[in-house]
Amino acid sequence: MTEWVALRTLFDNVQTSHAALIDALGMTKGATSKVINRLEEKGLAYRQQAENSAREQVLLLTDAGRALVPRLAALADQNEEHFFGHIGRKERAALMKTFQDLVAYHQIKEVPVN
């Protein structure tokens, strides 16, 4: 899930700073760095020196990463329609709000897998 959020963030911006990705993921700098490392290992993203700073890097998608995002988005849309398509728009919005409230209340920062 975190890789998907990272891919979408990078897809929506020509280049992304570490700080922007940390904000998008809601994770620590170290945890975000691990996500970036995984995307780099998969050939989906890379780091590049920022133009205005010798110390900063920006994050970008590779061509493979940029091609993958629309395909994953289509799958996500299909899954959403499969599981929630029978629920009306208002009910779906209320359900999403309930999930968001639960996440905020319990301060969930990572997708629970157990």
Q: Please determine, for residue 39, whether its predicted confidence score (pLDDT) is greater than 70.
A: yes
Domain ranges in the chain are 2-105
Distances (CA, A) of 42 to 1, 6, 66, 97: 15, 13, 13, 33
pLDDT digits (tens, 9 = 90+) for 80-111: 999 999 999 999 999 999 999 998 898 877 66
Distances (CA, A) of 44 to 3, 29, 56, 94, 108: 10, 20, 20, 34, 26
Report the CATH number of the 2-105 domain: 1.10.10.10
- pTM of the complete model beyond 0.85: no
